[in-house]
Amino acid sequence: MSYRHAPLLWSALSVGCIEADKSGLQQQQEAEVDCSKLDQKQREAEPKCQTLASATSGSRLVRRIVFTDSIGIDDPGESRGEGPIPFDFLPDGAGVAVANPVGDTVGVWDRDALAPGGDEHVSPGLLLTEGGVALGSAVRSTTDSTGQNVVVLGAPVGGVVLVVPADEAGSYGAFEAASAEIATGMGAFGTAVAWGDFDGDGHDDLATTAPEDGTDGAVWVMAGPFNGLVNATADGVRIGGTADLRPDGALESAGDLDGDGADELLVGFPDAGALAVLHGAGAWTTGAADFDSADAQVAGDGDFGRAVAVWSDQNDDGVADLVVGAPGDSSRESGGGTVWLLDGGSVLEGGSLSAQDTVLARVFGEATDAALGTALAAGGDSDGDGTAELIVGAPGAADLDDVETGAVYTVETFDVAGDVEHESWVGIRGHGVSGRADGSQLGTRVRGGVDIDGDGLFEVGAIARGESALEVIYGGALD
């Protein structure tokens, strides 16, 4: 046996050992990295800390629909930021309804149109139009008393809310297609809408804001079920705004937080930086009231109350917790925005409260004018780990190249019981997708909680206002 090549063999073994040592050292160094101490760019340079992907990645973003032709949004290059694009997924992921209020047009796309690989410019199966009413300024979907999917459309210039069957096909006038028309005809009635069983009678009711109703605006509540023409002035209940609390922000059903069989109503007042909570089955569901008599008032910072959502019980006290957006807040970055997680149990106790006294945690936008918290939604489990996420929009956020593309984030937990500080950057708490280009404004509106393709993972939807597009991020893309 020749030993001529023994030095070479020893050299190879030595290199192998060195490489193994390097690998072990690298693993040790990665294990020692504390992602919570890094900024966005530093996190993305560390494999274990990476959270932000680009919407241009075909493996992550599965479906995109552009509305430049289908619902009359002509040239996004000339109209970036001019007016919202409200949308909502239909129940069980049966489709999506998207509105162009400036053009008085609403389109409804079915499940098949949302399938991966489809034409970006696909036309809606149902097209609704109506002149001069700002149709679709608010869009919600639900099922009516017969179990049929419907879209609830606010048209505030007309002072009306329409309930329209969503499973039809064709082009119709919105009033012609509506199964119910709820109206006052004034006060910008229909600016925002919420749907829930507020009086506890087993039927879903309608709540809607009318910010120009009287001097201080109002919220109207109408008991369901609905059919035909409903005169809200005669048949509804008016909750009047006050000099300090004009309802000009979020309006959401909170579900039944206290277990009494009736849903709570959340009303945002971003001009005042406040949130009001009205307990279900309260006096406000049967007789006129104002927001001075709200069960709870929570005062925050900035434009607190611009968006609101109900999330899972984060502190394990048996009550779901509330999430409130303040996209104009500058606590960390100028205009970076803040999302507050409030203790639902404390808020339910009622009274005049400070957000600082009820806060469990806060997250902040990571760039100037990121506007984190512009949109919020409770999502489902998009990554298969058994935990439902919170969806957060930041339409002014920057990507890793400092291009202002906007972003949408999914957050699983604020870690209220963990070792990480309860105040942190949003990228530390969740995964995100940035927009496709400068000015995309991804995250102006967000929705989730639907499994379109039936794979057990839930999808995330976000509007890119600057591109007049809906981006549907399928389950599994944000893990």
Mean pLDDT of 218-240: 95
Is pLDDT of 23 > 60?
Answer: no
Is pLDDT of 161 > 80?
Answer: yes
Rounded alpha-carbon distances, angstroms, from residue 157 to 104, 133, 171, 212, 253: 10, 4, 22, 11, 24
Is pLDDT of 11 > 50?
Answer: no
Mean pLDDT of 314-339: 94
Q: What's the burial of 5, exposed, middle or buried (CB within 10 Å: 0-12/13-18/19+)? A: exposed
What CA dihedral angle connects 254, 258, 262 and 263, to 10 degrees?
0
Residue 445 has, within 13 A of its CA and on its CB side, a CA count of 22
pLDDT top residue among 198 and 71: 198
pLDDT score of 288: 83
pLDDT tier, 40 (very low <50, low <70, confident <90, very high otherwise): low
Is pLDDT of 335 > 60?
Answer: yes
Question: How far is it, in rounded angstroms, from Cα 475 to Cα 385?
Answer: 11
Q: What's the burial of 386, exposed, middle or buried (CB within 10 Å: 0-12/13-18/19+)? A: exposed
92-139 pLDDT, tens digit per residue, is 999 999 999 999 999 999 999 999 888 999 999 999 999 999 999 999
Mean pLDDT of the chain: 86
pLDDT tier, 77 (very low <50, low <70, confident <90, very high otherwise): very low
pTM: 0.88
Least confident of 35-39, 163-167, 411-415: 35-39
pLDDT tier, 391 (very low <50, low <70, confident <90, very high otherwise): very high
Is pLDDT of 356 > 50?
Answer: yes
The closest of 334, 431, 419 to 385, measured between CA atoms, is: 431
Q: Cα-atom radius of gyration of the chain, to the nearest Å?
A: 24
pLDDT score of 31: 52
The encoded tokens of residue 388 equal 């439902």
pLDDT tier, 43 (very low <50, low <70, confident <90, very high otherwise): low
Is pLDDT of 85 > 90?
Answer: yes
The closest of 418, 410, 323, 424 to 364, measured between CA atoms, is: 424
pLDDT top residue among 45 and 308: 308
> How many of the other CB atoms lie within 10 Å of CB of 92?
13
Mean pLDDT of 420-425: 61
The answer to whether the CB of 205 falls within 8 A of the CB of 224 is yes
- Residues contacting residue 246 through CB under 8 Å, at least 6 positions apart: 211, 216, 217, 269, 271, 272
pLDDT score of 419: 43
pLDDT score of 371: 96
pLDDT score of 478: 58
Handedness of CA 107, 117, 148, 262 (dihedral sign): negative
pLDDT score of 78: 41
436-464 pLDDT, tens digit per residue, is 999 999 999 999 999 999 999 999 999 99
Question: How far is it, in rounded angstroms, from Cα 104 to Cα 469?
Answer: 17
Least confident of 86-90, 124-128, 310-314: 310-314
pLDDT score of 6: 31
Share of the chain above pLDDT 90, in %: 69
Mean pLDDT of 355-360: 92
pLDDT score of 80: 41
pLDDT score of 26: 47
